[in-house]
Structure 1
Amino acid sequence: MAVIIEPAAHTGRDNRLASSQTRRGRPRGLPLALNAVSIALGIGVWWALAALGVKVPQPTEVVSRAGDLLADGTLENDILVSLGRVLAGFVLGTAAAIPIGFLMGWYGVVRGLVEPWIQFFRTIPPLAIIPLAIVLMGIDEAPKIFVIFLAAFLACVISTFQGVVSVDRTLINAARVLGTRDAGIFARVVVPASTPFILVGMRVGLGSAWATLVAAELIAAQQGLGYRMQNAQLYYDLPTIFVGLISIGILGLLMDRVLLVAERRLTGWQERR
């Protein structure tokens, strides 16, 4: 009997190992190597454009200016201020978007009442909201955060709504047949099935938040990466503008990677190519 069971145990372990290898798909180091090559190529193209006379600063000039701004604490302070604004707007926007998206997807009445306003505001660029925000909220932090909030909210609410309406009706009907109440169906079927959409919406909302930052810091800002870039524009200070652009890009990329890791952990049950 032991002779029969032992191979079966080995087969089970082999299947689990094969499944694990299938989930990994490719060597872990390959994406990082490709990222490094991509960055090196991008810097090479940048250097070539500067050498050909295109009006962009040399990478060494940008690095030197970043060192100067770091030395006097300007860059660090601007990063912290802008990061605080983006995080505040993004967190508030996501916190509002997820429950509203769920309600829109689950209840037809809520969808009918709310969806026209969502679509209406989606067509208005955040820059156009700035005059209204200034009139209603003044020129302190509130209007800056509100503009970022609106950009993140509109991106995330649509994705959450789409996730709810895309849930397989067969799963919902099967849960009802088994006697599960609406609250249980919502918690055990709708929320897990919608999670991938929510996380994608959060990533898009995060990108929208960073993209809106410079516009938000038009509102009488005295600190921040967007403010620093706008101020440098007045003096044709291209290295400082590039420092701001690169800082925003790096911060946005790092935050997106964090969300991507969370997405992989929370949606590990999904089949991936």
Structure 2
Amino acid sequence: MNGSMGRRVLLGVVPWLGVIALWYAVRLSGLVNVALIPAPHQVAAKFVDLLLHDNLLFDIYASTRRVLLGVVLGIAAAVPVGFLLGWYRAARIFADPMINFFRALPPIALIPLVIVYFGVDELAKLVILFYASFFSGVIVMYEGVSQITPLYIRVSKTLGANEFEIFRKVIIPLTVPHILTALRVALGVAWATLVASELIAAQSGLGAMIQNASTYFLLDIIYVGIICIGCIALIMDLILRKISARLLVWQERAIS
């Protein structure tokens, strides 16, 4: 067991060591001006400095709160809409073009309109993150629900289940994996949209920190912000995968 765990840890660490080695190699190769690529140890030192003497923890908290709130609200709205589109063919035919139209619009393109209609406060940032999470969640939900085989429904009816029992004991369990997948996708999209949402007069947050650092060409701070976003998104995804594995353990038992 310990040997297996050690191999997993080693396999997880090796790619990151490779990235750091490549980072140093590019910096030392002379192909790029070293002033444009801060060394990994310099970025690490700046991270510690911002953590101890600046507002990095508050920026992390502000961005994480915005992302979580936007994703939770977006998925809460996307699940019933995606279910209806996936379960009812007529609804899918009716709404599919409009859903795909809005899904293709980048959130950053909507910022001028969001400022006009919602101002520059937290609500505007939340609207951008909600928009990104909702449409990505709807697509995942209705694609997944539309592929649920009707065989389970027919078997349940044959065994005497009524409509409520079919919905509670068959439809909901079959829908849970798609809800969790929609949540994972929405989290990724929301973190990718974070910088765009914090373009709206943000005074705190990792996106705002990156924007402010770019104004003064503080590349080490930009690297810190980017790495923090990636690390937090990775941690949240790992947590969600663990939760999914526990909630969907019945699938493995059913397959085995």
TM-score normalised according to structure 1 size = 0.85
Matched, 1:237 2:237: no
Instruction: Report the alpha carbon displacement of residue 238 of structure 1 after superposing the two structures with TM.
Output: 0.6
Instruction: Provide the C-alpha distance between the structure 1 equivalents of 2:160 and 2:91, rounded to a whole number of angstroms.
Output: 26
Quickly say closer, same or farther: Cα 1:29–1:192, change in 2 above 3 A.
farther
What secondary structure sits across from 1:236 in the alignment?
Answer: coil
The residue number in structure 2 matching 1:105 is: 86
Instruction: Report the alpha carbon displacement of residue 113 of structure 1 after superposing the two structures with TM.
Output: 4.1
Instruction: Report the alpha carbon displacement of residue 109 of structure 1 after superposing the two structures with TM.
Output: 4.3
> Pairwise mapping of residues 135-154 of structure 1 onto structure 2 (< 5 A)?
135-154=116-135
Matched, 1:227 2:204: no
The residue number in structure 2 matching 1:46 is: 23
* Farther-moved stretch of structure 1 (35-44 vs 236-245): 35-44
The residue number in structure 2 matching 1:256 is: 237
Task: Give the share of equivalent positions with the same residue, in percent.
Answer: 44
The residue number in structure 1 matching 2:11 is: 34
Per-residue CA distance 1:15-50 (angstroms, 9 max, x = gap): xxxxxx9xxxx9344332211111111111111112
* Farther-moved stretch of structure 1 (28-37 vs 84-93): 28-37
Where structure 1 has 5 or more consecutive residues not aligned to the other structure, the ranges are 1-20
The residue number in structure 2 matching 1:192 is: 173
Letter matched to residue 258 of structure 1: I
Letter matched to residue 87 of structure 1: L
Instruction: Provide the C-alpha distance between the structure 2 equivalents of 1:116 and 1:166, rounded to a whole number of angstroms.
Output: 19
Letter matched to residue 222 of structure 2: I
Where structure 2 has 5 or more consecutive residues not aligned to the other structure, the ranges are none
What secondary structure sits across from 1:129 in the alignment?
Answer: helix
Instruction: Provide the C-alpha distance between the structure 1 equivalents of 2:229 and 2:13, rounded to a whole number of angstroms.
Output: 19
The residue number in structure 1 matching 2:49 is: 68
Contact 1:217 1:224 (8 Å CA) reproduced = yes
Instruction: Provide the C-alpha distance between the structure 1 equivalents of 2:153 and 2:10, rounded to a whole number of angstroms.
Output: 43
Contact 1:155 1:202 (8 Å CA) reproduced = no
Per-residue CA distance 1:217-272 (angstroms, 9 max, x = gap): 00011111111111111111110000000000110000000111011112223358
> Pairwise mapping of residues 158-237 of structure 1 onto structure 2 (< 5 A)?
158-237=139-218
Instruction: Report the alpha carbon displacement of residue 127 of structure 1 after superposing the two structures with TM.
Output: 0.7
Quickly say closer, same or farther: Cα 1:268–1:76, change in 2 above 3 A.
same
Instruction: Provide the C-alpha distance between the structure 1 equivalents of 2:27 and 2:173, rounded to a whole number of angstroms.
Output: 50
Instruction: Report the alpha carbon displacement of residue 182 of structure 1 after superposing the two structures with TM.
Output: 2.5
Instruction: Provide the C-alpha distance between the structure 2 equivalents of 1:107 and 1:140, rounded to a whole number of angstroms.
Output: 38
Paired residue for 1:57, among 38, 49, 52?
Answer: 38
Instruction: Report the alpha carbon displacement of residue 161 of structure 1 after superposing the two structures with TM.
Output: 1.2
What secondary structure sits across from 2:249 in the alignment?
Answer: coil
Larger Rg: 1
Instruction: Provide the C-alpha distance between the structure 2 equivalents of 1:39 and 1:81, rounded to a whole number of angstroms.
Output: 27
Per-residue CA distance 1:49-93 (angstroms, 9 max, x = gap): 122233311011111111221122311111111111111101111
Instruction: Provide the C-alpha distance between the structure 2 equivalents of 1:194 and 1:139, rounded to a whole number of angstroms.
Output: 37
Paired residue for 2:111, among 88, 110, 130?
Answer: 130
Instruction: Provide the C-alpha distance between the structure 2 equivalents of 1:141 and 1:40, rounded to a whole number of angstroms.
Output: 38
* Farther-moved stretch of structure 1 (179-188 vs 140-149): 179-188
Instruction: Provide the C-alpha distance between the structure 1 equivalents of 2:150 and 2:7, rounded to a whole number of angstroms.
Output: 39
The residue number in structure 2 matching 1:87 is: 68
Instruction: Provide the C-alpha distance between the structure 1 equivalents of 2:218 and 2:162, rounded to a whole number of angstroms.
Output: 63
Q: Matched residue pairs, number?
A: 249
* Farther-moved stretch of structure 1 (52-61 vs 208-217): 52-61
Matched, 1:268 2:249: yes
Quickly say closer, same or farther: Cα 1:32–1:200, change in 2 above 3 A.
farther
